[in-house]
Amino acid sequence: MPPSRSSPLFGLGIASSARRLLAVPLLLGVAVSGQVVLTTVMAPAASAAEDVGVETMTVPADGDEDVDLDTSLYVPAASQDTPAPAVILGHGFGGSKDSVGTEAQVLAEAGYVVLTYSARGHGASGGQIGLNDPEFEIADLSVMIDLLAERAEVASDSDGDPVVGVTGASYGGALSLLGAAYDERVDAIVPQITWNSLTRSLFPDQVGDPEGDAFAGAPAPGEDGVFKKLWAGLFFSTASGFGGADRSGGTPTPELGVTDLTCGRFRAEVCAAYQEAAVTGRLSPEMAEILDRVSPAGVLDRIDAPTMLIQGLSDTLFPLSEADANARGIAQNGTPVKMVWYRGGHDGGSNEDDVVRLRELTLAWFDHYLKGTGPDPGTTFEFPEPNALAAGLTASGGAGGADERTSTLPAYPGLVGPDGSAPEATVGEMPLSGPPAQFAVNPAGGLPAAISTIPGLSASLTSLGGALGAGAFSDIPGQSAFFSTTPRESSIDIVGAVQSQVLVASPTGTAVLFAKLYDTTENGSPTLLGGVAPLRLSGLAADPREAKPIEITLPPLVHRLEVGHSLLLVLSTTDQGYSTPLDPAVYGIGLPSGAVLSVPTVSGTVAASGQPAWLLFAGIVAGLGLV
């Protein structure tokens, strides 16, 4: 049946409930020192707003299931006379089409026909959540492209093939990547703060070298990892709380069953796999199959739509290494790829000047590849200048300002730029020292556990930890081993993933550890850098004297280590954000002879931001943050 349309509206409100604020990239706020600061969003000029009509419609999905998708179409008045390119704007997990209403209005005022819709299991749409399953959510995206192809206001490449780009953050970012892989009609994409492998994101294991020796990468996903239980639990509960409830905010219906209460709006197989992981803390074959299916990693070779990747420095859910893997996979096809790192992410820490730049870069990308106007945006790599990330209160970039600057390279390190240049990271070594053997206890039940990161608040936790000298509050005595470099006699910029080698012995032959890197000031105050590197180890010697060197990779970061500062490598047995072994054990931890930290850096051309604030596609921290 055809879409049912309401009368055109002139503007949509942003959902204000706390639940929906968990996952929305909005023109609403910026996290500064752990607080949500609501900024004044200037209303568009009356003439601009009146030039955009908004149609709401219900679009039936293809397939055997009876699913309707709540959809809005933003139509610039000018497109009635001259067809315009279209942009499909995806929302974050737990959000809806209303979550991105303001961004849609901005894009429409820039001359695009903009389509937003609530994904299956979200908002007023029907169906169940499949985590961007190609058979369901990605097929729905193709239905939306079909709809745009029928609209006279939308420019076309050929019959049935509209000129269309796709963008979105987190869940919407994965929609962009997977949509471009499965539907060749997508002409350009701007995925933001999203995943390459949802398997690696939720079951990380940082044992080994980065995949492809990438300077900001992570080891390839393995058969098992360490379950990121706190983020996964929030991810699940955000949608499971919707189960059976009236979508306008009512109470559960009387006939609500146990499955509805426990699984909410998730598909049954997704719910069952999550519940098993939550209980066992391990990656089952069923969970691995689901997560691999909804991961762009396996289909990047299909993407030929020019791609600008935006990833945040403050992101313990989808770290920089996820964008690194996406960039390398897509570029292998000869597809133009531009990489942009900024200070925000799922953990907050956004800076307003940065967000202005993201908005302008996004519009420039679409203008060139969809409208055919404006200069070629190129395939440069842009990242915050390291010296803007000083230790303490500005460690996350949250307390920056007009002095913040951006570094630019002609291409992302490891990729070839249009001029044939291929920048590479340089790697320096910093000797590590510490006791030859330290013993760390894994407590019974995994408690008490170290507190290193908190979903949505890790940027502010890092900043506060550095300010108070609390080391992120949490390396528990007796559960951690400590190794340090000597104080620097000159500053060094760290851009990428730091690597090292350690020795570990376990009476069971296995262990789970958490590696962390701190900037330690002259007075000993530590600031956590880059997050936590979970390590699932096997085949270990029982005797520390027989332990073999183990390669580990820390999460990528951007940081300047100042004169007089040291790097502190900590290996802990527990972390409250992850599942850990419940049985008590004592591990022996040490360093091999000549142990060093391998520290990467890249040098780019530096330019000041210096622009007025405008928040587009920035992460908002509300309560526990966004997903």
pLDDT digits (tens, 9 = 90+) for 272-317: 999 999 999 999 999 999 999 999 999 999 999 999 999 999 999 9
Same-domain check for residues 82 and 146: yes
Residue 214 lies in a domain: no
Residue 289 lies in a domain: no
- Indicate left, alpha or beta for 331 from its phi (over 0: left) and psi (-120 to 50: alpha): alpha
Phi, psi dihedrals of residue 455, rounded to the nearest 5° = -50, 125
Same-domain check for residues 118 and 185: yes
* Structure-token pair, residue 83: 């067809």
Cα–Cα distance, 160 to 162 (Å, whole number): 6
pLDDT attached to residue 387 = 67
Q: Is the pLDDT of residue 47 over 50?
A: yes
Cα–Cα distance, 514 to 548 (Å, whole number): 18
Which of 25-34, 255-264, 281-290, 502-511 has the weakest average pLDDT? 25-34
pLDDT per position as a tens digit, 556-604 = 999 999 999 999 999 999 999 999 999 999 999 999 999 999 999 998 8
CATH number for the domain including 416?
3.40.50.1820
pLDDT attached to residue 458 = 55
pLDDT per position as a tens digit, 363-422 = 999 999 999 998 999 999 999 999 644 333 343 333 344 457 889 999 999 998 888 888
Cβ atoms < 10 Å from Cβ of 359? 20
CATH number for the domain including 579?
2.60.120.260
Cα–Cα distance, 192 to 626 (Å, whole number): 13
> Is residue 221 reached through a cis peptide bond, with omega within 30 degrees of 0 on the bond before it?
no
Same-domain check for residues 233 and 113: no
pLDDT attached to residue 609 = 54
Same-domain check for residues 276 and 188: no
Q: What size, in residues, is the chain?
A: 627
Higher per-residue confidence, 351 vs 483: 483
pLDDT attached to residue 457 = 67
Residue 499 lies in a domain: yes
pLDDT attached to residue 607 = 80
pLDDT attached to residue 627 = 44
Residue 79 lies in a domain: yes
pLDDT per position as a tens digit, 513-551 = 999 999 998 777 789 999 999 999 999 999 999 999 999
Q: Is the pLDDT of residue 448 over 80?
A: yes
Residue 321 lies in a domain: yes
pLDDT per position as a tens digit, 199-255 = 999 999 999 999 999 999 999 998 899 999 999 999 888 776 544 334 434 333 434
Same-domain check for residues 434 and 417: no
Which of 8-22, 378-392, 478-492 has the weakest average pLDDT? 8-22
Q: Is the pLDDT of residue 467 over 90?
A: no
pLDDT attached to residue 5 = 35
pLDDT attached to residue 19 = 33
Same-domain check for residues 158 and 76: yes
Q: Is the pLDDT of residue 61 over 70?
A: yes
Alpha helices in 183-257 (DSSP H): 198-202, 229-240
pLDDT attached to residue 354 = 73
Range of the domain at 156: 4-10+23-40+60-196+295-423+610-619
Same-domain check for residues 580 and 437: yes
Q: Give the chain's domain count.
A: 3
Average pLDDT of the chain? 84
Cα–Cα distance, 229 to 444 (Å, whole number): 18
pLDDT per position as a tens digit, 240-284 = 654 433 443 433 343 444 557 788 899 999 999 999 999 999 999
CA angle, corner 330, sides to 329 and 335, nearest 5? 145
Q: Is the pLDDT of residue 613 over 80?
A: no
Same-domain check for residues 410 and 436: no
pLDDT attached to residue 523 = 78
Cα–Cα distance, 66 to 82 (Å, whole number): 36
Residue 17 lies in a domain: no
Q: Rounded mean pLDDT of 68-72?
A: 98
Same-domain check for residues 252 and 169: no
pLDDT attached to residue 362 = 96
Which of 47-51, 386-390, 485-489 has the weakest average pLDDT? 386-390
Residue 50 lies in a domain: no
Q: How confident is the model at residue 26 (pLDDT cuts 50, 70, 90)?
A: very low
Same-domain check for residues 504 and 398: no
pLDDT attached to residue 331 = 97
Task: Give percent of the chain with pLDDT exceeding 70.
Answer: 79
Q: Is the pLDDT of residue 610 over 70?
A: no
Higher per-residue confidence, 233 vs 457: 233
Same-domain check for residues 391 and 466: no
* Structure-token pair, residue 255: 């006939």
Give me the helix-helix angle, 352-366 and 101-109, nearest 10°: 50
Same-domain check for residues 481 and 354: no
* Structure-token pair, residue 167: 């963008």
CA angle, corner 624, sides to 614 and 319, nearest 5? 70
Residue 15 lies in a domain: no
CB 466 within 8 A of CB 329: no
Give the up-direction half-sphere exposure of residue 72: CA atoms within 13 A in the CB hemisphere. 28
